[in-house]
Chains A and B, each alone.
Chain A
Amino acid sequence: MGSNSLHVLKGINFSVEEGELVAIMGSSGSGKSTLLNILGMLDELDEGSYDLDGVPIKNLNETKAANYRNKFLGFVFQSFNLINYKSAMENVALPLYYQRVGRKERQEKALKYLDQVGLKEWAEHLPSELSGGQKQRVAIARAMAAEPKVLLADEPTGALDSTTSYEVMDLIQKINDQGNTILIVTHEPDIADMCKRIVHLKDGIILEDKKIKQVRASEYV
C-alpha cells in the first residue's frame, strides 16, 4: 500500500506436498510473513508464479481471490482475529456462511469443530471470555471449519506461553495427522521442531530447506 516499495522476497523456489507440516523460520524481516501472505492470497506477488492445487494464482480479482481463500485456505493468526461480538460458535461458523451453508448445518459443523479443539462447552462464549489458548483453538477450529486444502498459521503461538503453545501445537499436529497440509510461520525453534520440514529464510532467500524428525508436542503436555 505504501509508496516506497521494498524488495522483500528475492527468489523463493519451493513446493509443498499434500499432508506436509512445514515450518517457515527466520528472523524478523526475513520475509516469512510476506511469503505466507502471498501463499494465503492476502498479499499480491509482483513477480514469479504461485500454483495452488494446480491453479495458477495470479492477477485474481477480489471476488475470485475471495472464492479461493474460502475454498482452499484456512488462516490462523498470531492475534487470533476473532470477531469480538460473535460467540465462539458464530466465529467458527463464519467461513461456512460465506460458503452459503445453511444456518442449522453451520451450527452443527461449528460445534463439531469446536468439539475437536475441546471447546464445545465454550461455544456460547464471546472471545473476551476466553483465554489466549482457547481463542487460538477457536481460531483453529474456524480455519478448519471451511475444510481447506491448506492451513496457514502466522506465528500461531506467538502470543501464548509455552504450555499453551504446546497444546496448540499438539492440536495442529493432530490436524496434520488427519492428512491436512499446514504451513506455520514461526521464529521459535522448539515450535519449528514440531513440524516435519523446516524452511529457513534469510533476507528474502531460502537459506536451508530440510526434512526433520518431528517432535510430538504431546510429550510436553
Chain B
Amino acid sequence: MFDIERWQEIFDTIRKNKLRTFLTGLSVASGIFILVILLGFGQGMQNGIAEEFKEDAATSIWVWPRRTTIEYKGLNPGRRVQLRNENYETITNAFDSDYEKASLLYFPRDVQVVYNNDLLVYNVAGTNGDLQSIENEFLSEGRYINETDVQQNAKVAVISNKIKREVFADLETPIGEYITISGAGFRIVGVFGEHGEDEGEEERIFVPITTAQLAFNGSDKINNLNFMLPEMESFDATVEKNKEFTDELLTYLKQYHGVAPEDDRAIHIWNPIQEAKRFYALMGGIKLFFWVVGFFTIIAGVVSVSNIMLIVVKERTREIGIRKALGAKPWSIIGMIMHEAIFVTAIAGFTGLIFSMGLLEIVGPEIEVDYVLNPAVNFNVALSTVILLIVAGALAGFFPAWKAVRVQVIEALRDE
C-alpha cells in the first residue's frame, strides 16, 4: 500500500492547492474539536455530580421523625413521632433486608460544654461507631467511638477538626484532654473530619449513645436513625435494594408509631441514592444531549468534507480527463483522490483531537464550578470519532471520484 510515488504525487497536489486543503482540514478539525470539548464537559458534569454526592456515603439512609398529618386510629394529626431504642433494636435484629451499617443519633437538649472554664457552643450528639462510615467521616487522630464505649457507657468524646482548630490550637493534640458536658467529664479520644465543604457537620462532639441517654435524661429517645446499605453489583440494583429496605423500614415505623400508612410526612426518609438517581437520570439526559449535538457536529463535518470533495472533484474533472488520456487507470485516479481525502482528514482530525484534548488537559483541572469537575474525554471514544470522520472523508472522496472517472475522456476534457 505504501507507494512513494503516490505520496509524492499527493504532496505535490496538496502543496499546490493549499486553500482547498486548508478548508477541508478546518471543517474536520473543528468538528472533532467541538465534539471532544462537548464530551469532555459531559464527563466533567458527571464527575462534578459524583463529587457533590461524595460527602455522605452514597448508599446511606437517614430517618427523621416529624409530626403526623393524618388522623389515624383515633389519634389526632399533629402528634410528634418519637423514635425509641426499641425501634433501633427491632430494625437491626428482626429485619429481612440486610444493611451494612446502622447508627442512631440522640441530640440532648440544653447541655453545656465547658473546657478550661470556657463555655463552648458546639452540639453534642450521642451515637455509635457505625456513624463514621455512614457520614463518610475520616479520622485525623485517635479513634472513633466503638462498641465497647457504647456497652460500657464510657465517658469519651470525639471532636471535629474544626473544634480542634478553634479550641485546642495551642495543644499538640487534644487527645487525652477532658471536656465537661453538663457537669460530667469526657475524655477526648479522637478527631474526625468531613469530606468536602460540609463544615456545618464539623460543629459536633460525639459521645457514645448510651452515655448520652443516661447522662442527659434521654431515657430511650432517639432523634435519627441512619443506615448504610451494601453496594450491589450495579447502580440500579443498589437503588432497588435501597427501596426495598426503605419500604420495610417505613412500614414498620408507621405501624409501631400509629402513623397512617398513607401519611408520608410523619416520618421523613432522606436517601442520597434516590437523589443521586434523579441526578444521574438528568446527567444521562445531558450526556445524551451532548452526544446528539456532537453527532450532528460530526455529521456537519462529514457533509462539509463531502461538499468540498464534490467541488474538488468537479474542479478536477478536466485534470482527470487529461490523466486518463495519458493512461491513468480508473482506480489509480480514485485511489489518488481518496488517498488525498483520507490523508487530509486524518491529519486535520488528529490535529483537532490533539488541540481539544490539550485544552481539556490544561484548562480542565482549573475549572472550579459546582457540578463540573475535571472535564476529560475517553481517548478511545475521541479516537473512534476521528476514525469515523476519516472513513466518512474517504467515502466522501470516493463517490464523486467514482462518478468523475466514469465520464468519457472527451467529455471530461470539454469541461471548462
A contacts, CB < 8 Å to B: 1, 37, 40, 42-43, 62-63, 66-67, 69-71, 75, 77, 79, 81-83, 85-86, 90, 94-95, 97-100, 102-103, 142, 146
User: Is B17 in contact with A85, judged by CB distance below 8 angstroms?
Assistant: yes
- Which B-chain residue is minimally distant from A100 (CB atoms)? B5
Checking A1, A90, A100 against B12 with a beta-carbon cut-off of 8 angstroms, the contacting residue is A90
- Determine whether the beta carbon of B16 is less than 8 Å from that of A42: no
Nearest-CB distance from A44 to chain B (Å)?
A: 8
Across the interface, which residues of A come within 8 angstroms of B325, CB to CB? 40, 42, 69, 75, 81
Chain B 34-77, CB within 8 Å of chain A: the 1/0 string? 00000000000000000000000000000000000000000000
Q: Can you report 26 A-B residue pairs in the complex whose CB atoms are below 8 A from each other?
A: A1-B411, A37-B410, A42-B408, A43-B410, A63-B330, A67-B327, A67-B329, A69-B324, A69-B325, A70-B326, A70-B327, A75-B325, A75-B326, A81-B318, A81-B321, A82-B322, A85-B16, A86-B12, A94-B326, A95-B326, A98-B326, A98-B328, A99-B327, A103-B8, A142-B326, A146-B326
In chain B, residues 305-329, which have Cβ atoms closer than 8 Å to a Cβ of chain A? 318-319, 321-329
Question: CB < 8 Å: which of B9, B321, B413 contacts A97?
Answer: B9
Task: Name the A residues within 8 Å of B326 (CB-CB).
Answer: 69-70, 75, 94-95, 98, 142, 146
Q: Which residues of B contact A90 (CB under 8 A)?
A: 12
A63-B331, A82-B322 are known; give 11 further A-B pairs, CB within 8 A: A37-B410, A66-B324, A66-B327, A66-B329, A66-B330, A69-B326, A79-B413, A81-B322, A95-B326, A97-B5, A142-B326
User: B residues touching A (Cβ–Cβ < 8 Å)?
Assistant: 5, 8-9, 12-13, 16-17, 318-319, 321-332, 405, 407-411, 413
CB <8 Å contact, A94 and B413:
no
Interchain CB contact (< 8 A) of B330 among A37, A62, A69, A103: A62
Chain A residues within an 8 Å CB radius of B323: 83, 94, 98
> Which A residues lie within 8 Å of B324 (CB)?
66, 69
CA distance A94 to B8 in the complex (A): 12
- Docked Cα-Cα span, A95 to B323, in Å, equals 8
In this complex, what residue of A is CB-closest to B412?
Answer: A42
Q: By the criterion CB–CB under 8 Å, are A77 and B327 in contact?
A: no
Tell me how far the C-beta of A104 lies from the nearest C-beta in chain B, rounded to whole angstroms: 11
Known: A1-B411, A43-B410, A77-B413. A95 touches B16 (CB 8 A): no
Query: Which residues of A are found within 8 Å of B322, using beta-carbon distances?
Result: 81-83, 94
Are B12 and A69 in touch, CB under 8 angstroms? Answer: no
A86–B319 Cα gap in the complex (Å)? 11
CB of B410 within 8 A of CB of A103, answer no
B408 touches A43 (CB 8 A): yes
Asked if A98 and B17 make an inter-chain contact with CB atoms under 8 angstroms apart, the answer reads: no
